[in-house]
Structure 1
Amino acid sequence: MPDDLIAAADEVRRMAYAPYSGFQVGAAIRAEGGRVHVGCNVENVAYPEGTCAEAGAIAAMVAAGDTRIAEVAVIADAPAPVPPCGGCRQKLAEFAGSEVRVTMATADGQRLTMTVAELLPGRFDAGYMNRATPGAP
């Protein structure tokens, strides 16, 4: 169980900037090297220009020099574990293998763990671009 990741995600969740929805989300990523990177959602009055917690954690990971995800935790104060949005599922798939576990949790302790492949079946990856020609119309 990724208890340390859930705790890190919950701590950063409390820092979320969510004045419009009141829905605070925190995410924590363990990189393959073991470092933990966190992110929280940041809303903007010009919806949908905000940033998801998972995207923030990925940006922090890349800024710190890590590029591969080993494990993910996401937490929100919701009645059931909240999965990453579609865009964040694709972002996670960019940096994580299909087998990487994503644990979704609620503030009151419920948990659901799925793999990246379960969250994003039929994911789009660089393999589809093998025949692409940069700069082609």
Structure 2
Amino acid sequence: MEYDKLVSKALEARKNSYSPYSKFKVGAAVLTEDGKIYTGCNIENASYGATNCAERTAIFKAVSEGHKTIKAIAIVGVENGYTYPCGICRQVIAEFASEDTEIILGKSENDYLVKTLDEILPGAFTKKDLEK
């Protein structure tokens, strides 16, 4: 997989962040099972509960276009550190992840970490648990 391309798309999406309260800009790019890329940024609201994270924005865009499985997601936030998804986003990633979904945490196109879902959300509660 071309991680640098996915990170680049996330960096581009970060530019559209609406974060007047936290000043913490985040961008995400989701790669679907058929190779399409959907991007998202964080969108804050004066009523903080109405805020939406970049990861969920990108995933919801993909799902709204008929994609139910993500192969990878790249997330970029601050330039001097790796930005991990929040707990809610980890759960949403788990909902649409395959067994080999990769989570890419990027600082730049050339500086990123690649994680598995189990590494960022061990013991995740998933739809498989509802079948028990």
Same fold, judged at TM 0.5 (above): yes
The aligned residue for residue 37 of structure 1 is 38
Q: CA 1:59/1:128 → structure 2, altered by over 3 Å: closer, same or farther?
A: same
* Aligned ranges 1:56-67 → 2 under 5 Å: 56-67=57-68
Counterpart secondary structure, 2:58? helix
Distance 2:110 2:3 in 1: 13
Stretches of structure 2 lacking an aligned partner (at least 5 in a row): none
Aligned residues: 131
> C-alpha root-mean-square deviation of aligned residues, in Å?
1.5
Partner amino acid for 1:128? Answer: D
Partner amino acid for 2:84? Answer: P
Structure 1 residue 107 displacement after superposition = 4.8
Q: CA 1:124/1:93 → structure 2, altered by over 3 Å: closer, same or farther?
A: same
Contact 2:8 2:109 in 1 (8 A): no
Contact 1:77 1:107 in 2 (8 A): no
The aligned residue for residue 13 of structure 2 is 12
* Aligned ranges 1:88-127 → 2 under 5 Å: 88-107=89-108, 110-127=111-128
| Identity, % of aligned positions | 37
Normalising by the residue count of structure 2, what TM-score does the alignment of the two structures yield? Answer: 0.92
Contact 1:13 1:24 in 2 (8 A): yes
Q: Which moved more, 1:103-112 or 1:37-46?
A: 103-112
Structure 1 residue 109 displacement after superposition = 5.1
Contact 2:71 2:100 in 1 (8 A): no
The aligned residue for residue 86 of structure 1 is 87
Structure 1 runs of 4+ aligned residues shifted over 3 Å read 107-110
Q: CA 1:108/1:6 → structure 2, altered by over 3 Å: closer, same or farther?
A: closer
Contact 1:75 1:82 in 2 (8 A): yes
Distance 1:108 1:40 in 2: 17
Q: CA 1:83/1:98 → structure 2, altered by over 3 Å: closer, same or farther?
A: farther
Contact 1:40 1:54 in 2 (8 A): yes
Stretches of structure 1 lacking an aligned partner (at least 5 in a row): 132-137
